[in-house]
Structure 1
């Protein structure tokens, strides 16, 4: 059995879960130049259905948030999963920026 690891794919503007070369999850983001400097807008998180229920989304999101903070960026939680995650983990509160209409305009169209 392979080890599933979180990875940062800046060229694809996402964090992902890698299972032996197969990407089985993603936390999509857009960087935004805001009043707090670089603000990373997390807007969509997915995990392949075959891997659901294993806590992998939380592993990936924790990795993404820690990487974002380490890089000096702030967090904008638009994705419902990321919103719920940061609400349960108070250590991320100092790194959050409230979502604005400008953040939402910066996101790709559905």
Structure 2
């Protein structure tokens, strides 16, 4: 037991120490419904602002990440966060890089990460003088929307 009790039914609604009968706190302030709604609106606005800042910050760090090749796993990788990666899988055929599958963890979907991975992959292929064959539907659509990489296509 805490040694405090609320006297219900009294006019003041103070919390009292049971042993000394001395008030421990002021009575709860009455607040109108409009005041409560206003306070909740402010809370939501503050939380929303914080979330937007966090999203901009985390997206900014992803935009600075660099695509690398992991030849042992036959994939191009883009670090995302907390050890997660986006990956573009490939196989080699006659010296060409056949892009077969692009994967982004579902919790990061819709943030442009696959496009960033594709940009980095094609830049890396261009830099190393290799040609690509896009079998992955995403990579094929990406190339349609980004003709600046046509020189990386095989054939």
Structure 2 residue ranges without an equivalent (≥5): 1-56
Higher Rg: 2
Partner of 2:107: 50
Greater strand share, 1 or 2? 1
Partner of 1:85: 142
Deviates more, 1:79-88 or 1:19-28: 19-28
1:17 offset after TM fit, Å? Answer: 2.1
Higher relative contact order (CA 8 A, sep 6+): 1
Of residues 132, 137, 152, the one that matches 1:75 is 132
Partner of 2:93: 32
**Cα RMSD (Å) of the superposition?**
1.8
Structure 1 length normalisation: TM-score? 0.75
1:20 offset after TM fit, Å? Answer: 4.6
Structure 2 length normalisation: TM-score? 0.55
Greater helix share, 1 or 2? 2
Q: Deviations over 1:67-101 (max 9, x none)?
A: 01111111100000000001111122232125xxx
1:21 offset after TM fit, Å? Answer: 5.5
Structure 1 residue ranges without an equivalent (≥5): 99-110
